[in-house]
Amino acid sequence: MTAAELASGAAALCDTATVYRSLHFLEEHGLADSFVLYCSAHGTERYYVSHNAVHRHWFHCEVCHKFIDMGSCTIAPMLGEVERKTGVLIHTHTLYTTGICPQCQEECQTTAKLN
Ligand SMILES: [Zn+2]
Ligand SMILES: [Zn+2]
Ligand SMILES: [Zn+2]
User: Which pLDDT score, from 0 to 100, does residue 93 have?
Assistant: 85
Tell me how far the alpha carbon of residue 2 lies from the centroid of ligand 1, in angstroms.
18
Question: Could you tell me the CATH number of the domain that includes residue 62?
Answer: 3.30.1490.190
CATH number of 4's domain: 1.10.10
Note the pLDDT of residue 115.
61
Q: Are residues 28 and 80 in the same domain?
A: no
Strands 56-61 and 96-99: parallel
Q: Specify whether 48 is located in the same domain as 59.
A: no
Q: How far is the CA of 114 from the centre of ligand 1 (A)?
A: 19
Q: Is 104:64 a contact under the CB 8 Å cutoff?
A: yes
Separation of CA 89 and ligand 3 centre (Å): 15
Condensed to tens digits (0 to 9), the pLDDT of residues 49-107 reads 766 556 778 899 999 999 898 888 888 889 999 999 999 998 888 878 899 999 999 99
Distance set, CA 78 to CA 1, 74, 81, 94, 109 (Å):
28, 8, 5, 14, 35
Closest CA to 3 of 30, 53, 37, 40: 37
What's the pLDDT at 12? 53
Query: Where are the alpha helices (H) located in 72-114, listed in sequence order?
Result: 76-86, 102-114
Check whether residue 65 and residue 113 sit in a common domain. yes
What is the tally of structural domains in the chain?
A: 2
Split at pLDDT 50, 70, 90, the class of 36 is confident
Of the residues 33, 52, 71, the one at which a domain ends: 52
State how far the Cα of 50 lies from the Cα of 52, in Å rounded to an integer. 6
- Phi, psi dihedrals of residue 55, rounded to the nearest 5°: -80, 130
User: pTM higher than 0.95 for the full model?
Assistant: no
Distance 11 CA to ligand 2 centre (A): 23
Range of the domain at 23: 1-52
pLDDT score, position 95: 78
Are both 98 and 61 inside the same structural domain?
yes
Same domain, 97 and 66: yes
Centre of ligand 3 to C-alpha 17, Å, is 29
CA of 9 to the centre of ligand 1 (A): 24
| Closest ligand (CA of 56) | 3
Residue 6 confidence class, pLDDT cut points 50, 70, 90: low
**Where does a domain end: 52, 74, 95?**
52
